Amino acid sequence: MREITKVGGRGGTAFSRRRVLAAFGGAALGCGMVASAFGQDAAFPSRPIRFVMPFPSAGAADLIGRLYTKALAEMTGQAVVPDNKPGANGLIGVQNVQRSPRDGYSVLIGSSSTLAFNAATYKKLPYDPVKDFVPVALLATLPVVLVTSSRSPIQSFADLVRRARGRPGALNYGTGSTALQLQAAWMNEMAGITTTVITFKGGGEAVSAVLSNTVDVALLDLSAASALIRSGQLRGLALGASEAYASLPGVPTTAQLGLSGYTGELWVIAAVATGTPQVIVDYYATQFAKAAEQPYVREWLRERDLGYTRKSVAELRSTIAGDIERTNKLVDRLGLERT
């Protein structure tokens, strides 16, 4: 466990040999033929690529990153190595890519936490998610879902609200990341309740905590919870999506519950450090889009109720900037202390 925070709807406390071929779109790019960023005629990639993942292994973002390592390796003919660098809310891994050469061989697998929510919760973040990185591809979107153990006396979202209002701060609310902690704070604000939010080191710990009734409820990304909801081990109370999921009958959306305006969708984005040659940025945008169309990638995402939409670099920048702005407003509104 990392920290415990009181979060409520009315305030709370506490909480980085010649020239580059410029003819992108030509047939050479299809097989990864890109000139070296340093002026040498060479194939890109010509050596292994690192996918730096600033979170523990086995979590949703890690598994998504590993899915794409397989696809990119097959498409480029080069080894793509997953490199987990967890710690400090993702700062260690993000700064590793920030400080790496701008040659395209270090790719950040970033999340809502590392590329948006950290910017709103740190007084002095050692990197700028918008200025220091170029997002090259959306890898997946992850709706959040509020769950409790099937053995819990909490039967519905309305039941949770009733109990929380009767005993403000008494209910424990588990999350596995900064992003989910803030999503929980936002949900509490809209429902007008106060709970004690317990942030674990990752989604796996949060799942274990709610299954064992160590916490009353947990806010998880859907990939961590959907199979457990379908198997009857978890009870879904609220889904942060605009539409209900056919795969989760009986789990109401936040909109259906009256939380109008709540956006409970997290994301995983691949990015490179600013200064990486444009031809390599374009190359990755194309290759990741092709990877997402591979049947086994589509099926893997579908089985876990994860979404995918192809977005341009400009659209991804807008997504990141929009989430930073929205979260900054939330932190200010609730009076949460930036670390």
**Exposure of 336 in the CB half-sphere (CA atoms within 13 A):** 29
**Exposure of 253 in the CB half-sphere (CA atoms within 13 A):** 17
Question: pLDDT of 30-51, one tens digit each?
Answer: 333 344 444 444 689 999 999 9
Per-residue pLDDT band at 225 (split at 50, 70, 90): very high
Name the burial class of residue 25, with classes exposed (0-12), middle (13-18) and buried (19+) by CB atoms within 10 angstroms of its CB: exposed
Question: Would strands 106-111 and 265-273 be described as parallel, antiparallel, or unpaired?
Answer: antiparallel
pLDDT for residue 109: 98
- How is residue 167 written in tokens? 């005993």
Question: pLDDT of 174-195, one tens digit each?
Answer: 998 888 989 999 999 999 999 9
Tell me: pLDDT of 12 over 80: no
Bin 196: left if φ > 0, else alpha if -120 < ψ < 50, else beta: beta
Q: Which helix (H) or strand (E) holds 268?
A: strand 265-273
Domains assigned to the chain: 3-11+143-239 (3.40.190.10), 15-141+266-334 (3.40.190.150)
Cα separation, 294 vs 316, in Å, equals 21
Crossing angle of the two packed helices 178-191 and 157-166, in degrees rounded to 10:
80
- How is residue 95 written in tokens? 């700064």
Cα separation, 53 vs 82, in Å, equals 7
Q: Which amino acid is at 224?
A: A
| 223 or 150: which leads in pLDDT | 150
- In 10 A of CB 270, how many CB atoms? 26
